[in-house]
Amino acid sequence: MPTATAEKQDKSHHFDWNLLKTFLTIVETGGVSRAAERLQRKQSSVSLSLQRLEQRVGVQLCRRGPGGFALTEEGQRLAENCVDLGQFVKQLPGSILGPSPTPKGTIKISLISNLVHPVLDLTIATFHSKYPDVEILVQVDTWSSILNSLLRQEIDIGVAPSVERRAQFYHLPLFNERHRPYCGRGHRLYGKRITNPKKLSNEAFILTGADEPDQLSDFRMDHRLGTRIAAISVHLEEAKRLAVLGVGICFLPEGFAAPEVATGHLWPFLGKNKIPSMMIYVISNNNSTIISKQLFIKEFMLLTKSHNT
């Protein structure tokens, strides 16, 4: 009578490993249709591969609906294992021939301004500790410029929101950034609570210029916020300074405004369930073969996994 271990081994012999490759492409591109485009296959064929994989592992791996494509908890774990497997396969020739040379050169990272997240900071620190010969070049840019620079392969890593998932990009979610309206101590709304955003339509706002995320712009337009302008600054630091001074109301990322909220210099008067949010991604170009980029992505994924457990 075969043991459970023997049965598992027998199943692995008949496993179609191409299903995992297709699944990872679906994850990287953010959906079946984009994966089909990258793989140059029919959408129905890619969808069938996903169904076969789900039947094989016995769990649902993703959800598709009006809210878009999203991995289940089991799907996220499988995706992480697929990436580890892919890294192993890529490194296999080098490991047979001998140890790979220590990476050198420069890794170019471009991110939106005043981004606050511990996993990103830890990834940069860990990467530097492991690969001290790689120079880390960090620059701040608008989210649209970051995506264009990635397309042209002028940078290696981009950290920004991505409204449109592009097939040539590899998106790894960092965190869901929430933007709340804040006012300073001298403002009449300081210490108050507002439940309906439309009640703010007559208030004067501090706007942050053309780089405002689309989700925030849509939220403002829907509630007619910002028709009265108190000030404009393309730099979040200066916009926050103006809000602290009581010049007007300003939408700021929660993490960025947290120190001033803790000291009482800023007040978040609108409830969390009423505020716009956007997913921030660590993005790379799939066509880039730079080893330092691949190592950075690997460190980020490992630290994300440990942070979430």
CATH of the domain at 194: 3.40.190.290
Query: How high is the pLDDT of residue 82?
Result: 76
Please indicate, yes or no, whether residues 11 and 49 belong to a single structural domain of this protein: yes
Please indicate, yes or no, whether residues 217 and 154 belong to a single structural domain of this protein: no
Which of 86-95, 161-170, 172-181, 267-276 is least confident? 86-95
* Of 50 and 209, the one with more pLDDT: 50
pLDDT tens-digit readout, 195-210: 899 999 999 999 987 6
Please indicate, yes or no, whether residues 262 and 300 belong to a single structural domain of this protein: no
Residue 98 has pLDDT above 80, yes or no: no
Assign 24 a pLDDT band (cuts: 50, 70, 90): confident
Please indicate, yes or no, whether residues 76 and 157 belong to a single structural domain of this protein: no
Please indicate, yes or no, whether residues 22 and 58 belong to a single structural domain of this protein: yes
Percent of all residues in the chain with a pLDDT value above 70, rounded to a whole number = 85
Range of the domain at 137: 97-162+284-308
User: Comparing C-alpha atoms, which of 79, 74, 77 is closest to residue 30?
Assistant: 79
Which of 50-54, 273-277, 294-298 is least confident? 273-277
Query: How high is the pLDDT of residue 192?
Result: 94
Residue 308 has pLDDT above 80, yes or no: no
Q: Kindly report the average pLDDT of the chain as a whole number.
A: 85
Query: How high is the pLDDT of residue 67?
Result: 53
Please indicate, yes or no, whether residues 183 and 265 belong to a single structural domain of this protein: yes
- Residue 143: CATH number of its domain: 3.40.190.10
Please indicate, yes or no, whether residues 271 and 302 belong to a single structural domain of this protein: no
Is residue 171 included in any domain, yes or no? no
Assign 89 a pLDDT band (cuts: 50, 70, 90): low
Residue 80 has pLDDT above 80, yes or no: no
Decide: 78 and 57 in contact? Cβ < 8 Å.
yes
